[in-house]
Amino acid sequence: MKHYPFILFYLFCNVFIYAFHGSFWVYVACFMAFSAVVVWGSFAIELGYFVNSITHKRTKIKEVALTFDDGPTEFTPKFLDLLQKHQVKATFFCIGKQIEKYPETFQRIIAEGHTIGNHTLSHSNSTGFLSASKMMAEIENCDKVMKTMGNIETDLYRPPFGVTNPNIAKAIRRTNKISIGWNVRSLDTITDNEKKIYQRITKNLKKGNIILLHDTSEKTYRVLVDLLVFLEDKKYSTFTVDSITNSKKK
């Protein structure tokens, strides 16, 4: 957790309560404000409120990372064909149960030199409400599937939905994972408008951006077709997330 903003906010609340003589509604207002900050911190992974996450790369060259969540799926082979055509390496944050459904595709991701990250066993909708022990089980069981199906291990972990909280932070520490976020969110699972998705990614693209995509639909595949052309036209190269973590280990 980022302690300094929390402490400053706590002091502000105390000053606010003192200034208004501690009335009931002032306490309610402060409680609501504090709750809003906590919720915001839970869903905004780039804030690092509960756990520090890598959200970009410090670099002087024009390079970005393409990351794909929630696969492998029936669409992933088309993504791999396209990436191979453009000679681009990406980072795939895979769900354990999806690996079990598409083991050959998972093995192809590895064989073609892409980077693998853990995205839990089941990507449960109740992720934000799981205990630390259950979150650890989600991460460790995904690791087991990856080892069985692809003979691969990874220290990269991306929280489902980008949600973090004290239990998730504890699970990440105990499983020795590195939390990976993003600073360009395509919202490709929320909107069907391919033009808006493309514009959201490219509008303010900067060196070192980590782009969040999903290899789960034809729609995102079509966006990727245009995005790769855009990157080539603008002279952007690509990097995989492990290039950041490996450099920090040296």
Q: Residue 118: is it exposed, middle or buried by C-beta count within 10 angstroms (0-12/13-18/19+)?
A: buried
Pairing of strands 210-214, 63-71: parallel
* Catalytic hit among 69, 70, 143, 215: 69
Which backbone phi and psi does 94 adopt, to 5 degrees? -100, 145
Read out DSSP for 76-109? HHHHHHHHHHTT---EEEE-HHHHHH-HHHHHHH
State yes or no: is 242 an active-site residue.
Answer: no
Q: Are residues 95 and 242 in contact, defined by beta-carbon separation less than 8 angstroms?
A: no
Give the tokens for residue 106.
Answer: 């998972």
DSSP code of 231?
A: H
> CA angle, corner 157, sides to 45 and 110, nearest 5?
135
State yes or no: is 69 an active-site residue.
Answer: yes
Q: Which of 65, 122, 118, 60 is nearest to 88 (CA)?
A: 65
Which backbone phi and psi does 137 adopt, to 5 degrees? -65, -40
* Catalytic hit among 70, 114, 214, 242: 214
d(CA 128, CA 43): 10
Name the residues annotated as catalytic.
Answer: 69, 214
